Amino acid sequence: EAGAKEVHMRISSPPFKFPCFYGIDISTRSELMAANHTVEEMSDLIGADSLGFLSIPSLIKAISVKGGADYPNGGLTVAYFDGKYPTPLYDY
């Protein structure tokens, strides 16, 4: 309608697929679009011709936390993207 021939969307983070148990109120995967749909499905759902996300290594490189090179994932928690939490999770 606005005259665009194509719509290509790029997201400046990796797909958010896993819940946050460290303070953000997202406690289930059912709340997360990327946890339940492929990139192609999400692209179709939002009406874009293509959809792309930043990779985890690119996110770590872009943020570049001071002293982060001494720690896994550059000192960042990337569990929301890869499901590998830095601390054990318990059922309460």
What does the pLDDT look like over 8-32, one tens digit per residue? 999 999 999 999 888 777 878 998 9
The DSSP code for 8 is E
Q: Please measure the distance between the N-terminal and C-terminal CA atoms of the chain and give it in whole angstroms.
A: 50
Name the residue among 53, 31, 51, 27 with its Cα closest to residue 41. 51
Q: Which two tokens stand for residue 62?
A: 């872009």
CB atoms within 10 A of CB 85: 16
pLDDT tens sequence across 63-85: 988 888 888 888 899 999 999 99
pTM score of the predicted model: 0.80
Q: What is the identity of the amino acid at 84? A: K
